[in-house]
Amino acid sequence: MGSAMSTITSLPILDLSQLDGNNEARVNFLAKLNRAARDVGFFYLVHHGISHELQRRVSQLSKAFFALPEAEKQRVAMIHSPHFRGYNRAGSELTCSQPDWREQFDIGAERSALPLSAADPSWQRLQGPNLWPAPLPELKTTLLLWQQEMTRMSLRLLRAFAEALELPITAFDALYGEQPNEHIKLIRYPGRLTGSSQQGVGAHKDSGFLSFLLQDNQQGLQVEIAPERWIDALPLAESFVVNIGELLELATNGYLRATVHRVVSPPPGRERLSVAFFLGAQLDAVVPVYQLPDHLAAKALDPTSDPQNPLLRDVGWNYLKGRLRSHPDVAARYYGDVLPAKETIIS
């Protein structure tokens, strides 16, 4: 992979409509998907089937949300949600223990909170309703529609991954069932003066399976293509930037690549708006390490952690761990009973 990485200057572009083409087009797409996911871990996805009009409305409503008065945004602040849903002002979320200079609004699957007893695992508290701003009722209907469309498209892509890995096409289906862990994040990066922190979001890997990013026209996303070698994921009209999460890397024993990425703040007087969709397994899922065919398994690279590590297998705890680390104020309010027992893991 090293020689291949040294020549990459931009992310590969994959056309999802090729899956519906003739056999040659389909085979070509699967081969490109395999290479992109293994060598880079990031790619642009075009002709993905999500309508341009719906994408435009999602972007417009995201901008309208961030333009609401501060008092309205605070009414739906994440500190009011034990499910880690809602608004955070810039500097509230931490990556690598440093504040990310972005304001954001997090939405999950719209489900009722579970009735819980003291004996239930603490990650079950993650399920619950979203917080929605009263002055912008269309935000709820539009984002839940987009969430539904994105889930359908991303599960289709995940089946293509299974096929590219020469696994049964339904290999990943049982992990999602009827309640995949769907997560939307509306994000606004304000302009920052030179000399101040430029950490729009710090260098990190995504923890789930697949991530999709709808960008505006302001650049800022960077991908670490090799140690300390970063390339820009420049905006590409009507595309998603797609990347592999750690669970998919570990589930393939490092054959697929979860790649470190970051966002650099825009210059003064500019802003960057993006909308992210994260597809994760059901919170009660246990993720196996998939047995790839020998000729693929032989090319698997060293994953970032032990593939038998329980954090790979136990999706609910893996997700809660990340939330507790990223949002210490919410963790302190609702998960004080969890923090002392888990402090050695979440620190």
Does 75 score more than 60 pLDDT?
yes
For the cut 80, the answer to whether the pLDDT of residue 93 exceeds it is no
Cβ neighbours of 208 (radius 10 Å): 22
* Residue that the structure tokens 């997560």 belong to: 183
Which range has the worst mean pLDDT, 46-55, 88-97, 115-124, 149-158?
Answer: 88-97
- Give the confidence band of 302 by pLDDT, cuts at 50, 70, 90: low
pLDDT at 305: 53
> Do residues 157 and 45 make contact, with C-beta atoms less than 8 angstroms apart?
yes
Q: Exposed, middle or buried by CB within 10 Å (0-12, 13-18, 19+), for 29?
A: buried
- Domain ranges within the chain, ordered by starting residue: 2-346
Structure tokens at 37: 């996911």
State pTM to two decimals: 0.91
Phi-psi region of 41 (alpha: psi -120 to 50; beta: other; left: phi over 0): left
- What CATH architecture applies to the domain 2-346? Sandwich (2.60)
Confidence of residue 309 (pLDDT cuts 50, 70, 90): very low
CB atoms within 10 A of CB 46: 15
